[in-house]
Amino acid sequence: MKVAIIGATGLVGQKMLQVLEEQKLRLDEIIVAASEKSVNKKILFQDKELTIMSVEQVIEAKPNIAIFSAGADASLKYAPLFAINGTYVIDNSSAWRKDPNIPLVVPEINASDINIDNHIIANPNCTTICMLMALAPLHKKYKAKRLVISTYQSVSGSGQKGLNQLVLEQKGLRSDNPAYPCQIHENVIPHGGNFLENNYTAEEEKLVFETNKILHSDIAVTATVVRVPVYGGHSESINIEFENQFDLDEVREILSNTSGVMVCDNPQENIYPTPIMAYDKDEVFVGRIRRDFSIEKGLNLWVVSDNIRKGAATNAVQIAKYIIENFKI
């Protein structure tokens, strides 16, 4: 089994290597690629030095699986070239998510959307993954009708550039290459991705589209994305209106029995999820579980996850694991 990581020097690429090592997949060879400026540099994997290759060199090596975290432009350019060679491509960018012929997958929810002929599989946006891990089992039981989502997203969601801006501003310095149009230190910014013609942002639109593609649903979704001065971990306030009535104790039981979800909900003891709690963990943490008394069948949740792990790297590796186990490659 030969696996390649495209974009191995970035925040998510490095985390992918870490997760691959933790998962102990059956790997005969791991290949890493990055931008031209990083070619021939060395990185460590399982205490071994790996030489960074160009993407073109990796294509020639014909890996069984290539996991991309190199941005949409690189994915659009190179993913089809891998796929033609029979490589299964798992792409972490937005490049292929809207393509009706490309499965968009959270393995715990819709791994069966992948078939052996799908040589490009899209990894969803980090906030979509986090939310759907909690929503999907409840939707299956009660059928969600409408979602109102507010996200509180850490700067690591903007990569190293976002982290650098926060660190510099905390020191009283200004970044020459800022990730955000406003100061992020001691501030919150209601802006994630480019603004669209309808005045929603690209990050907000992803939540609307990706939710329904993954669940094969037609749920009404509205979202507001907010960037907060937190290093890592995305948090989401989720208001759900169901078509069917629910029982709060049953909701807690369903979530507690959902693989990959950790219920953390005892407000009387000040126990609820926070980004620090989720740091470097794969679980999605759910708390503040309560009925919305303003509507008949409404539920409020507070959901937190590590956006670099389950929101990106871990989900991609889980897809790779599914392909390995089910397609016998």
> For the residues 183-200, what does the mean pLDDT come to?
97
CA 214 to chain centre: 13
> For the residues 54-83, what does the mean pLDDT come to?
97
pLDDT at residue 26 is higher than 90: no
pLDDT at residue 328 is higher than 90: no
Query: 3-state class of 287 per DSSP?
Result: strand
Name the token pair of 24. Answer: 């102990």
Which residues on neighbouring strands pair with residue 32, listed in sequence order? Answer: 5
156 contacts 163 by C-beta, under 8 angstroms: yes
- Predicted confidence at residue 238, as pLDDT, reads 98
288 contacts 272 by C-beta, under 8 angstroms: yes
> For the residues 75-99, what does the mean pLDDT come to?
97
List the Cα angle 164/310/99 in 5-degree steps: 95
- Given pLDDT bands bounded at 50, 70 and 90, which one contains residue 25? confident
147 contacts 238 by C-beta, under 8 angstroms: yes
Counted residue by residue, the chain has a size of 329
Name the token pair of 3. Answer: 């696996």
pTM of the model: 0.96
- Predicted confidence at residue 112, as pLDDT, reads 97
Name the token pair of 79. Answer: 């993913």
- Given pLDDT bands bounded at 50, 70 and 90, which one contains residue 280? very high
pLDDT at residue 329 is higher than 90: no
**Which helix (H) or strand (E) covers residue 68, if one does?**
strand 65-68
pLDDT per residue as tens digits for the range 192-222: 999 999 999 999 999 999 999 999 999 999 9
Percent of all residues in the chain with a pLDDT value above 90, rounded to a whole number = 96
- Predicted confidence at residue 104, as pLDDT, reads 98
- Given pLDDT bands bounded at 50, 70 and 90, which one contains residue 119? very high
- Given pLDDT bands bounded at 50, 70 and 90, which one contains residue 24? confident
- Predicted confidence at residue 105, as pLDDT, reads 98
- Predicted confidence at residue 170, as pLDDT, reads 98
Superfamily of domain 127-307: Dihydrodipicolinate Reductase; domain 2 (3.30.360.10)
- Predicted confidence at residue 281, as pLDDT, reads 98
* Distance from C-alpha of 163 to C-alpha of 178, rounded to nearest angstrom: 10
Domain boundaries, the chain: 2-124+312-327, 127-307
pLDDT at residue 312 is higher than 90: yes
Classify domain 2-124+312-327 at the CATH class level.
alpha beta
- Predicted confidence at residue 187, as pLDDT, reads 98
301 contacts 134 by C-beta, under 8 angstroms: yes
pLDDT at residue 47 is higher than 90: no
Q: pLDDT averaged over the chain? A: 97
Annotated catalytic residues are 126, 234
Which residues on neighbouring strands pair with residue 29, listed in sequence order? Answer: 2
- Predicted confidence at residue 113, as pLDDT, reads 98
Strand-pair category, 234-242 with 298-305: antiparallel
Strand order in the sheet with 234-242: 220-227, 144-153, 234-242, 298-305, 284-292, 261-263
